[in-house]
Copies of this chain bind each other. A is one copy, B any other.
Amino acid sequence: MMGTVPFSHVVHLLFTGELPSPKVGRVVDALMVASIDHGPGSPSALATRTAASGGACMKNAAVAGFLTLDKSHGAAVEDCMKVLKKVLELTQVSSSGEEAKAAIIMDFLKAEKEAGRKIPGFGHRQHPHDPRVDKLFALTMDAGVSGDYLSVAQAISKALSEKAGKELPINVDGAVAAILCELGYPVGLGNAPFLIARLSSLLIHAYEEIESMPRMRRIDPVDFGYVGVADRELPKYYQPADED
């Protein structure tokens, strides 16, 4: 497959047993790109840079950050997939209209709250409405999926927002969860595309720290600058690219 199939599509093959169509492959690429990084202030990047600053090699420093990727920080996709599958099952049984479905969802959310369980994949401290989610959903609908899980995610967001009296939009974890359900990923692999994507940025954080920073430095978790290049246009061949 070398030379013809992109890396991300081989990953999709490993995870689902099938090579993706070009449009499905584009969705997989998009969600992995969306998962790459939150910047050096995220706990995983900080843990990686702290480890590198203390003398860890690139690989070990990346692992230090990687082990930080737990439920409260980025690895919520799997749990959100379980919720989406459960809710779709509950609402599909009912043949009745939108109102009845909304009531079923509201009951489900109440029961979860009473059992002390959080609904992962909704709400975000920094992005009240995350533009990446719209883009990901548009690419996914364009790839010919049923859209059932995307609808369920939107219905849950609506119900949660009503209950909370404030906007609780689908966040990137929630969007990735809904999309992976659409694409037939097993729940147990839900966090895997995110983990692969995030490793790539952790390796870069480790490398930058090792190459250009003094050892044992005090890393400021808030006051850091961006040292990359300024905004650029995408090369022309990416602009209409892959349209087929």
A residues with CB within 8 A of B: 1-8, 10-11, 14-15, 17, 19, 21-22, 26, 28-30, 32-34, 36, 41-44, 46-47, 50-51, 53-73, 75, 132, 135-136, 139, 186, 188-189, 191-192, 195-197, 199-201, 203-204, 207, 210-211, 215-216, 218-222, 228-229, 234-235, 237-239, 241-242, 244
Q: Are B222 and A218 in contact (CB under 8 A)?
A: yes
Listed by A's residue number, 11 A-B pairs whose Cβ atoms lie within 8 Å are A1-B33, A2-B136, A11-B200, A50-B68, A54-B73, A55-B69, A58-B192, A60-B67, A189-B207, A196-B196, A196-B203
Q: With a 10 A CB-CB cut-off, give which of A4, A17, A32, A210 has the most chain B CB atoms.
A: A4
Distance in angstroms between the alpha carbons of A241 and B214 in the assembled complex: 45
Q: Which residues of B contact A186 (CB under 8 A)?
A: 207, 211
Nearest B residue (CB) for A44: B54
Q: Are B22 and A7 in contact (CB under 8 A)?
A: no
Q: Which residues of B contact A1 (CB under 8 A)?
A: 33, 234, 238
Minimum Cβ distance to chain B for residue A124 (Å): 12
Q: Are B7 and A32 in contact (CB under 8 A)?
A: yes
Q: Which residues of B contact A135 (CB under 8 A)?
A: 2-3
The listed residue (B14, B30, B61, B69) touching A200 by CB distance below 8 A is B14
